[in-house]
Structure formats: structure tokens, C-alpha cells
Amino acid sequence: MNLSVFSSLCAALILCTLLLGVSVLSETLCNDSNLDIEGGTYTLSKERYYGSMLVYHCPEGYYPYPALARSCQKSGSWSPPPKRRPTPKCRMVECPNPLVLESGSVFPVLSQYFADNQTTYECYSGYTLRGSSSRTCQPNGKWSGGTPICSGAIEDGAKCADPGIPPGAGRTGDFFGIGDKVTYRCDSGLNLVGSKVRVCQENGQWTGTEPKCYYKHTYDTPLEITEAFGSALRESLQVLETDSDTDQFGKKISVDKGGLLNIYIAMDISDSIDKAEFEKSRNAVIKLIRKVSSFTVSPNYGILFFASDVKEVVNILDSHGKNRRKLVDILADLDNFEYDARENVGTDLNLAFKTILERMAIQKGRNATLFKEMYHVLIFFTDGAYNMGGRPEDTVAKIKAMVEIDEDAKRENHLDIYVFGVGSVIFDEDITPLVTKREGETHYFKVKNGEKLEETFDEIIDEEKVVGLCGLHKNYDSGTPDTQRLRYPWLARIETKHKDGGLGKCMGSLVTPDYILTAAHCFKFEDTADMITVLIGNKEVLKVERHILHPQYNIKAKVDQGVKEFYDYDVALLQLKKTLTPSIKTRPICIPCTKETSAALKLSGDQITCKQHEELLLDKSYEEAKFMSHDKLRDNMEQENEVKLKLKDHRDNCIGLATKLEGITADNLKTIVTDNFLCSGGRDPTRDHVTCKGDSGGAVFKDYDDYRTIQVGVISWATKNLCPEGDSRKQESNDDSRDFHINLFKVLPFLKKHLGDDTSERVPLNFID
Ligand SMILES: *[C@@H]1O[C@H](CO)[C@@H](O)[C@H](O)[C@H]1NC(C)=O
Ligand SMILES: *[C@@H]1O[C@H](CO)[C@@H](O)[C@H](O)[C@H]1NC(C)=O
Ligand SMILES: *[C@@H]1O[C@H](CO)[C@@H](O)[C@H](O)[C@H]1NC(C)=O
């Protein structure tokens, strides 16, 4: 038997593939003529051997025509075959036809719309425009903004708003009453992504998600994915973060909802996706899991890879109960999984869904009551192509049916199926029916060549719209003002132009989008709010509406006892004129005893107390903390300093050094250094950094896990000035230098009064007792 006969005889058997290895299969070579593309280039995944993928690349704003890619078949021919006519060419990206607007006009009217072409929309009189009044055709083949819709007076019986017609689409159905149906189709050459049919519901919303018409070459940009997937995923995670529930007797119960979230991740590793893409997807998955871990919930994971067979890298059934697997182990398993190209002899997408269905059935069998409360998120990475195992739609329908066990409409919120289309050719029409569809959410994403998927996931929860996540930050600071903002997005500098011409400099921390927390002694009696400016980052200079000193702060209170300056209750809040929009560079730090901070500390349940926060944050005799100080040599830069707060049995020893100051004696020590102060400094057990002039008002903070920061104190005063003029280095303590910081746990009534005020227009923090 000659080798080529042998290889074709057993080509379907993995065993033979293993025995023969690549060298024999490589007998077949695909022809190299007519492969070039005008205006672009191509790459081959396994040269011209059987199984190789030829992928065309065009400059931005262009796409390969007539094919995006070809694969080398066993017979030695390319599929699709290259022809002399039409010759492969990079064509200008087009956007779907926008001239579908009803009751309005579109300018300009063109026969085709290319990248950078702009359109404007106007409604006839009596109609009002919703959506974008002007849109630009983007290089990814999509119009910017949202579908423009001209709606007229609400007709009798209409319940839902006019759902409009997306570019490139046509709609049948012009009645918008309860139960009315609209059906969409796309122009030829375009695939419909989203809901083909939508029904007007009693709540005035259309079922499903807005349809869009995609060309084969249309893809989603990383930014679009970040926004859409990020908000959908956050939605799922935040549903679970609400930490209390009411049982049937109206009694509050608390459950560890984390255990109720099942995240299944399935990755296609068949020959349609090459090794480099596999690595990108794997790294993206690792990144995604890390990001999810910065939320309060810790989900159960099921991770599988599939081609002709399914490899279950992490079995979700192992993550329940007491022997729950640790996240590090899950990530290690994922990291250790070897991609083996020899196993790629087919794609059974259905088998991947079936495996998940089985796992769900086992979970349901174990405890049906518990299963009813569970949430399931399925995330698939695939090109949508399959050549064995049959259509996955039926299995997906079974998964939906299993979750939707009762009439309760809300049940559908317990299942999300997302598909990331990765690969050089993506089969939109096969993927669209698989994903779940929900108003205002996108569950299908088309990624260009798996490009930037990891970065996309990295941005997902740092996206501008994440509110409510205090103290969240990126974990790198490469020493430029920009990266420093990402690490300390709450950092504020405060300047006060006093009446006498002097300029007072202090530090502060953003504690809500409206308030900066700082020290009261930064302000003189005669200072007014208009003399104060707050600096966030390099440029942003903010005006102050009012400055609120703690009512019990009185620096002269003990002058008659020989103490020139008395710093008890040395805290102040600056209310900003304009509410800040949280972003990755501007985000509040967490402060103790709020629900927001409970979430950061991963404490869930209704009975969480302020005391528990204190036990987590200020419990050890030497509690590690940090503060920021000016870097005097580098403009706009601060540096991180480390201290150990001396608590419990070490506190007395620490504050005792204050008696070296004029007016403070062993007798009056505790009335001057009151219980409201945290103490740091000295060289025991390790040498602390000390604060310098200008650091006052800054946060004393603790980092919690990798991504969250919680403030515990405000820098107030020091026994010594150990900071020489012009020396930019961080300064270290000597034996008897001490720093005192206001303990935030001791000024909670003040913080709560202003920051927890839910009667003002400002967004309050939710304080706990
Ligand atoms: C490749 O195809 C061209 C045209 O179809 C043909 O003339 C040529 O002989 C083929 N080359 C090989 C190596 O088969
Ligand atoms: C639309 O884009 C094409 C290609 O860039 C350009 O040639 C044409 O002038 C544009 N038309 C308008 C009206 O902007
Ligand atoms: C099933 O789950 C419910 C709800 O979490 C729980 O109360 C019950 O004890 C569980 N039953 C079994 C048999 O484990």
C-alpha cells in the first residue's frame, strides 16, 4: 500500500494521523497560482499543505474580495478555488444602505456608502427623530451611532415605540400594539444578526434585540465589544452582587449568590482556528476570568475545548460544595492545556453544547430547588463552522427549556449565551440562532482575526460606565503621569490661595463623584470655597462649591493647656461644583462602612457590620498601609510610601513619642493624641516612610486583593519634619519620629451625614451600621 492511499484510507481516524504524522499528510500540496491579491497580502497557516488556511489581509477600510480566506483540501485544491476572474482584490469597505428611513430624508443619497462617508437624517414635519441625526460609515463596515427613527404621533392601540429599520434591512409589520409582530430581512449579501422577529410586549418593550445587517467582512471593534459585552456581563454580575433577598415570609435572607453563577467557556480548537489564534483566545479567557474575579461574586467555572471531540479542562461539577477548586488551580489547568493540531479533524459544535447540557442536567438532578436559582452564562469562541455532530440549535433549545422551567418571565434572565466569532471566515448565519437575545444587549461579537481580544477583555470592567465599584484600579504604574492615574485614580491635589497671598498645598482623595476628602487644617478660617482648586491628573482643574470642616475640629481648643495646635477631627470634605464622571482615570477610593466597600471586601449578606470592616482592615498590631507623597523633582507625580500602623498593644508605645513635643506630657497625652488617631513611624518592626509638608489630607490606604483600594485614614500631623528642601526621595523614619492620621472609623457620622445624604441630587454612598 503506498503511503498516499494509506493516508486517504485512514484519514478520518485520529490514530492514523498520529501514526503518519504531518510529513505523510503533506504529500498533498495545493496549487500556488492565482493566489495573490491586488492591494493586499496573504498568509498561510501550514504552507500549502493539506489543512492550511490562506488568509487575505487588506489595509484598514478595505476587505478581501471575493473570498476572505481559502483552505487547502485533502484533494489538493483550494476551497473556495481561486479563479482568474474575478481576481482577488482589496475592495473598499461599504456600509449597508441607510436609505431605509421612513418618514424622513437622508443626505446625501448615494448608490454606495464607503468608509468615512457621512450621512445626516431629518424627519418630516410632525415626526421626531430618535437615534443619531448624523452617522459615519466606519472602516469595520458599520455605521457609527444608533439607528435613526422618525416617530409620529402615537397611534391608537400602539404600546411599543416604532422599532425603526436598520440600514440594509427591510421590515414587515407596521402595528405596534401588544402582541404585534415585526419581521426583518437583510439585503442580499448581508446576514441578519440579532432578532429576525420581534413582538411588542405588555411592558412596552420589543422582545429580543435590534437586528443588524452584517457583511461577511463586517466585524466589531474592540471598543464596541468592550462596551457591549462589558455592560451585559456586568449586568449579570451585579444582579448577583445585590446581597439580600426576601423569602416567602417576607423575612430577609442572605445567600452566597456567587455559588449560583455558572460560567461555561467553550473554545473551538478545530483546524479552522490556527494555533496563534488559539493562544490569543486562551489568553483572553484567562484575562476574562481574572477580571470577573474582581467582582464580589466567585462563580463556578466549566471550561472546555472542542474540535471533533470535547476536552473538558475544568469540570463545573468539581466547583461545587466544600471541595471547591481554587481560581489559581483553574487558571493553571487552563494554562497547561496543550494545543495539539493533530487532533483537528473536524468540528462538532453540537457536542460542546451537549456537554454543557449534560452538566446542567446533573446539577439539576442533584438539587432542583437550587438549580432554579442558578444563573448560567455560556461563552463560546468559534467561527461557527461545523462539519459533524449535527445542528447545535436543537441542543441550545433544550438548554433554554431546562432553564426556563416555570412560567415566570424573569427566568430567561437566568441564561446568557454569548458567542465570540473568531477566525478568518465567520459564519454569522449559523451563529445568530445560538445566542440569547435581550433588549439592549448584544450577545454575538465578531472579532477580526482574534485580534486584540485579550486587550478587549482587559478593558471590560474598567470601562467608563462602571460606577459603584470604588477603589478599582489597574495594577501597573510604569512611572508616567498617565499610568499613575490608572493605579491611583482617586488621587487629588488641593491648592488654596490664602488671603495673605500664600499658597497652601495639600492632598486629598476622591470619595464620591462629588466629594474630595482631605484634612481640615489645609484651610484657614478666612478661606472661602472659591480660593480652593482641586487637581485631578495633569490637567483637570476643578472648582469647589463648598468646603465642610468637621464641626468638632478646632485647632486652638487646647491653647490654654499649652498645646498650640490641636488636630482632633482634622478632616474636611470639598464638594465639587461639577459631578465627575467615573472613568478609568477618575474613580473614587473606597471608604469604610459602606455597602460599596463590603463589595470590594467580598463580604456578602445583609448582616455585614461596620465592625466586620474594621476587623478586616485594622486588626493586626502592625497593619500595613500606604500613602502617597509628592515627588518634588517630577511635576505632577507622586510616589507610594509604606507604613505599618501600630494598633492594639503597640499603639501606646507609638503615640508616647508625642510627648517630645512642647506642651504634650504623659498626663495630657491621651487627650491630645485622642483615640481618633492612627499612629505610624519609627523603625520597629520595619522602617516606615514618613509624611512631608504638602502630604497633609492625603489618604492612608490599604490595597485589597489585586484591584481594589480602601482608605482607612487621613494624614494629619507629625512629630518631626524629616524632609529636607529639594530632596525628592521618599523619606524614612528615625526611631522617634511619628505620624498621626485621622482614623476614618472614628469620623463616620460626619462622613455619613454628607456622603450618605440621599435627599440631595448627588449620588449618595450606602452606609452600614
Ligand atoms: C496550477 O494550476 C495552473 C492553472 O490551473 C496549472 O497550469 C498548473 O500546472 C498547476 N500547477 C501545479 C503545480 O499543479
Ligand atoms: C464617499 O467615499 C468615497 C470613497 O472614499 C469618496 O470618493 C466620495 O467622494 C465620498 N462621497 C461623499 C459624498 O462624501
Ligand atoms: C437544595 O438547595 C436548597 C436551596 O439552596 C437547600 O435549601 C436544600 O437544603 C438543598 N437540598 C439538598 C438535598 O441538598
Q: Is 659 in the pocket of ligand 2 (CB under 6 A)?
A: no
Predicted confidence at residue 451, as pLDDT, reads: 60
Q: What domains can you pick out in the chain, each with its CATH number?
A: 3-92 (2.10.70.10), 93-216 (2.10.70.10), 255-453 (3.40.50.410), 481-755 (2.40.10.120)
Comparison of pLDDT for 235 and 172, the residue scoring more: 172
**CB of residue 370 inside a 6 A radius of ligand 3:** yes
In angstroms, rounded to a whole number, what is the distance separating the alpha carbons of residues 114 and 125?
Answer: 30
Residue 312: is its pLDDT beyond 50?
yes
> Is ligand 1 within 6 A of the CB of residue 31?
yes
User: Average pLDDT in the 127-138 region?
Assistant: 91
CA-proximal residue: ligand 1, atom 12 (nearest):
31
Residue 1 — pLDDT band, cuts 50, 70, 90? very low
- Residue 208 pLDDT class (50, 70, 90 cuts): confident
- Assess whether the C-beta atom of 108 lies below 6 angstroms from ligand 2: yes
Confidence check: pLDDT of 104 > 90:
yes
CB within 8 Å of 284: residues ≥ 6 apart: 381, 450, 453, 454, 456, 457
Mean pLDDT of 571-586: 88
Distance from residue 118's CA to the centre of ligand 2 (Å):
9
Are 448 and 420 a contacting pair, CB within 8 Å? no
Per-residue confidence (pLDDT) for residue 407, from 0 to 100: 52
Which pLDDT score, from 0 to 100, does residue 426 have? 79
Closest residue CA from atom 11 of ligand 2? 117
Could you report the per-residue pLDDT of 237-268, keeping only the tens digit for each?
Answer: 655 544 334 333 333 333 344 467 888 999 88
The answer to whether the CB of 321 is under 6 A from ligand 3 is no
Ligand 3 atom 12: the closest Cα is on which residue? 367
The Cα angle at residue 577 between residues 571 and 579, in degrees rounded to 5: 95
Residues 6+ apart with CB under 8 A from 561: 663, 668
d(CA 544, CA 514): 10
Q: Is 521 a catalytic residue?
A: yes
* Average predicted confidence (pLDDT) for the chain: 82
CA 78 to ligand 1 centroid distance, Å: 12
| Residues 616, 629 contacting (CB under 8 angstroms) | no
Q: How far apart are CA 143 and CA 154, in angstroms?
A: 28
Does any ligand 2 atom lie closer than 6 A to the CB of residue 114?
yes
Least confident of 52-56, 404-408, 750-754: 404-408
Contact in structure between 518 and 574 (CB atoms under 8 Å): yes
Q: Could you tell me if the CB of 369 is within 6 A of ligand 3?
A: yes
Q: Closest residue (by CA) to atom 9 of ligand 1?
A: 31
| Closest C-alpha residue for ligand 1 atom 5 | 33
Q: Is the CB of 366 under 6 A from ligand 3?
A: no
Look at residue 134 in the predicted model and tell me its pLDDT. 92
As a whole number, mean pLDDT of residues 135-140 equals 92
Active site residue 696: yes
Reply yes or no: is the peptide bond before residue 108 cis, omega within 30 of 0.
Answer: yes
Q: Is the pLDDT of residue 497 over 90?
A: yes
Q: Which pLDDT belongs to residue 566?
A: 93
Written as nine digits, the cell of 66 is 471575493
For the entire predicted model, the pTM comes to 0.58
What Rg, from alpha-carbon coordinates, does the chain have? 31
Verify whether ligand 3 is closer than 6 Å to residue 253 (CB atom). Answer: no
Nearest CA to ligand 1 atom 4: 33
> What is the position in ligand 2's atom list of the atom closest to the CA of 92?
4
- Closest ligand relative to 111 C-alpha: 2
Ligand nearest to the CA of 91: 2
More confident residue, 497 or 194: 497
Span 569-592, average pLDDT:
90
Rounded to whole angstroms, the Cα distance separating 576 from 587 reads: 14
- Percentage of residues in the chain having pLDDT higher than 90: 38
d(CA 577, CA 294): 32
Q: Which of 63, 93, 114, 119 to mutate to test the pocket of ligand 2 (most atoms within 8 A of CB)?
A: 114
Q: What atom in ligand 3 is closest to the CA of residue 367? A: 1
Average pLDDT over residues 519-533: 94
Is the four-CA dihedral 560, 561, 564, 565 of positive or negative sign? Answer: negative
- Report the nearest-CA residue for atom 14 of ligand 1: 31
Reported as a pLDDT band with limits 50, 70 and 90, residue 655 is: very high
What's the pLDDT at 4?
Answer: 35
| pLDDT tens by residue, 700-729 | 999 886 678 999 999 999 998 888 776 667
Contacts of 324 (CB under 8 A, 6+ apart): 300, 318
Residue 485: how many CA atoms within 13 Å on its side-chain side?
17
* Cβ atoms of 327 and 293 closer than 8 Å: yes
Residue in the block written with cell 404621533:
153
Report percent pLDDT > 70 for the chain.
Answer: 83
Q: Which of 141-155, 509-523, 715-729 has the lowest mean pLDDT?
A: 715-729
pLDDT given for residue 254 in this prediction: 33
Find residue 588's DSSP bridge partners: none
